[in-house]
Structure 1
């Protein structure tokens, strides 16, 4: 042993096998001891969680139902009249003979103006936070433009010679100027919900809105106009009331003061130092890194809804029926007792399996039962995609990494752009062949391949390059573990977001899991983790787990 010790202290230690052997043994023993300590701490934490996990998940499901806000039912009225969702305009095509002349002016002006308005709001929100766009003056003016624009649109359709082109164009501009702030107001309202709450609420509300849309397309002109006008007014009441009370602008300001929207210091310097366009692109890239698949799905949904209107038995528009069935499919997901984060499970397991089933059905010859079933069920599939994407956006706003006006300004602009592209493509000869079925099949299959391929690539990367994360460890903890984390948070002076992340780290979860669960970027989680380590005086995950275990 003395000989070995002398070899370790010798300047030529690297030349002698005995020295290398002893150093290797010492280093490996130290690393092994640290790893064993971490595993023991993690094992004791897991033992605590094992007795409480099932009860927590049941309580979480009940909480989602119990905290559903009845006032949010008014969103169903707003959704059923939202003109950016092109199936909502089908009623006017069916009821008015003059729609062929009026509709292009109205739709083109509205969609293009919505793109410009959404981008303007997003750029302005980078600098000011966007509270002004959800204040009472802005929301009340938006409601007036929104309702007034639809009144002009109805007059252009119903009154012969009422300045068809000019009036329809002005109506489209007015509706666009009104609909963007109203979307921001509703989005800010729903930013109080976490992922499961948003998914449950939106499934209920989108299902009800799709049912209202289906009924509107099946009634007479007079009844349809009266019902649409009533829904139009109901859809703006809650944003007006919340804006009048100052709740919406206060939500945006509190989020800006409580948590920086750009948590990465490098990104903060970038946004502060560059012009609006570059800052907007930077924010869009960071948003895409968090919710790439939901955002792509939402845009695909908007494009396909704009391209094709498909009727079932020449009686029912499948878009509306698909929204109803999609809501029924999503509801159990929002209430299911799961040990894994919801979004990764849906986008890595549920939707890829759904997509593979549609690929198989689409492989049958045209006109056969399976192929017809695939064409109908695909609307359900994209309805599910749309609801999941909207809930993901609410969860992103809830996480406060980005401001709600920035999120919804960008998304409204992008959705209006792809919807307009879909409407334009629907008039091309390429899409006229078999009602665009072959082209849409190619696009849908490409998206299905993306859904299947992304999880496979992610799994391969984890296997060969990344440490395995505890993807299916318990999601929530109460009792002893929660008390320990809260006590450590108070002792270290952690912020609310850092305390939330500490609770996940204390249960043994990794950075990727925390980012997926809280719907924030991994770089933001790393920034918070460094701050947690510094405040608690630890330098590794093993030391942190030991602190949690010791209480």
Structure 2
């Protein structure tokens, strides 16, 4: 329900008048701005924010505000009233912010596993909800989307309590620590990952201005949404069937974003502009899953305060989407093309290349998925996930096992996971005890023996 409502916001489904102008895009910008303030409240008034996230009545009110905001969008689109639009953006932003944090707790509860199960599944289900509503008459469709906020709130409140909520902070925020140091060491978010997220979301804002909120009609607009739906469903199916190959899907998604912007420069002002939009939207659909998978893993395994880690991601999302959208508006970007359209899209494409390089060159991001893959040692493939399950290792112990097999030292592991060296030593001892060995070499021998043909036959 939450993501279907999100889709409606970007499709301009609340604005049924054919000449709404910039109102639909301003609705999205206002919603994201208020959402960013909600995410910031986690840092400025954490206790109050947590009370809202944990209160059933409060979440019911937030859902109702989301409905009210959606209806105000519908009315503002008919009356062209900016005050109503502002009120709608405020109410919708409160819903987007608080329910986004609520569902974020579900997504990061078990790291990448819960992300694939609930987030990728949520994207796929959103398409299932979107399709029939888009074939209804405009007013019926917009009103149907408008009630989704309260439905999302009710679903969250009724969900199993074991699936919800954020763990309490492991330790208090260090006093006097610089923000950059706090984000990297306390929240576990590296500068390269955060910078890449900001650049890609700025590109997303620019793209949405051209594809979803353009004042010029785009041929193939419906096809773009259909392709996005196919990618969402296909990604969920792929990740569910082959989670160990997730990095393949993510790399393809990132390359699709770059390829789409490269093609876009040649398609401005043509009937084929939708092709570039479809390629980029497909890439962004995959990137959305990657983004949540990365930050969910960080929140679940490295962060000392999972709620603030997710809040940092959402702040970057919102702020840089707004930056990209406003830049596109100020430049007068249009699918019909302007004197500098090709140059603009090329610059955005270069920024996406920089973002992807930052991601793919970061040990942090692929290290988050290493525990799910087989590694090679002594000419043999070792399925660490199976060994971890067989020995009953915890998630943290599974993470450290990967680094041990890779030959990393305890100080390196401690720095990378943002924990003390003594804590690493404790986890290593537990791994040895559960595996029935006394040292790293015995552990490697045990892993190799467990993958031998004789062992598999047994």
TM-score, with structure 2 as normaliser? 0.72
2: CA distance, partners of 1:365 / 1:246: 50
**Map of 1:171-190 to 2, 5 A cutoff?**
171-190=88-107
Distance 1:130 1:283 in 2: 23
CA offsets 1:153-198 (integer angstroms, 9 cap, x no match): 333344x49xx33333222222222321111111112223442452
Question: What is the aligned partner in structure 2 of residue 476 from structure 1?
Answer: 385
Alpha-carbon distance between aligned partners in 1 of 2:22 and 2:209, rounded to the nearest angstrom: 19
Choose the corresponding residue for 1:91, options 4, 9, 13: 13
Correspondence for 1:444 among 349, 367, 388: 349
Contact 1:364 1:370 (8 Å CA) reproduced: no
Give the number of the structure whose alpha-carbon radius of gyration is greater: 1
CA–CA separation in structure 1 for the residues paired with 2:141 and 2:264: 36
Q: Which has the higher contact order (CA 8 A, sep 6+)?
A: 1
What does residue 389 of structure 1 align with?
291
The answer to whether structure 1 residue 80 and structure 2 residue 8 are counterparts is no
**Which stretch of the first structure deviates more once superposed, 410-419 or 149-158?**
149-158
Matched, 1:531 2:426: yes
For the 8 Å contact 2:111–2:297, the answer to whether it is kept is yes
Task: Report the equivalent of 2:34.
Answer: 113
Shift of residue 117 of structure 1? 1.9
What's the CA shift for 1:434?
Answer: 0.8
Q: Which residue of the other structure, out of 380, 384, 389, is the alignment partner of 2:282?
A: 380
Structure 2 matches for 1:446-525, cutoff 5 A? 446-452=351-357, 455=360, 473-478=382-387, 485=391, 496=394, 498-501=396-399, 503-504=401-402, 508-510=405-407, 521-524=416-419
Q: Note the C-alpha offset of 1:134.
A: 3.0
Unmatched runs of 5 consecutive residues or more in structure 1: 1-76, 263-267, 459-468, 490-495
The yes-or-no answer on 1:303 pairing with 2:201 is no
Distance 2:100 2:185 in 1: 19
Equivalent-residue separation in structure 2 for 1:353 and 1:165 (angstroms): 39
Assess, with a 3 A threshold, how the Cα gap between structure 1 residues 78 and 319 changes in structure 2: closer, same or farther.
farther
Matched, 1:220 2:137: yes
Paired residues in the alignment total 423
Stretches of structure 2 that go unaligned for 5 or more consecutive residues are 364-374, 448-458
Distance between the aligned counterparts of 1:454 and 1:498, measured in 2?
Answer: 23
Provide the residue aligned with 1:141 in structure 2.
61
Classify the secondary structure of the residue corresponding to 1:166: helix
Give the deviation of 1:79 after TM superposition: 0.7
Q: 2: CA distance between counterparts of 1:521 and 1:529?
A: 11
Q: Secondary structure at the match of 1:92?
A: coil
Aligned runs of 1:362-377 on 2, under 5 Å?
Answer: 373-377=275-279
* Equivalent in the alignment of 1:546: 442
Q: Aligned-pair RMSD on alpha carbons?
A: 4.7
Is 1:410 the counterpart of 2:334? The answer is no
Q: Name the SS of the counterpart of 2:337 in structure 1.
A: helix
**2:309 aligned with 1:399, yes or no?**
no
TM-score by length of 1: 0.62
Aligned match of 1:464 = none
After superposition, the C-alpha distances for 1:374-400 in whole angstroms (9 at most, x for unaligned) are: 443122122211222123333333336
Please name the residue that 2:326 is paired with: 424
Distance 1:368 1:152, change over 3 A: closer
In 2: Cα distance, 1:423 partner to 1:372 partner = 19
Q: Distance in 2 between matches of 1:482 and 1:200?
A: 19
For residues 106 and 425 of structure 2, what CA distance do their matches in structure 1 show?
32
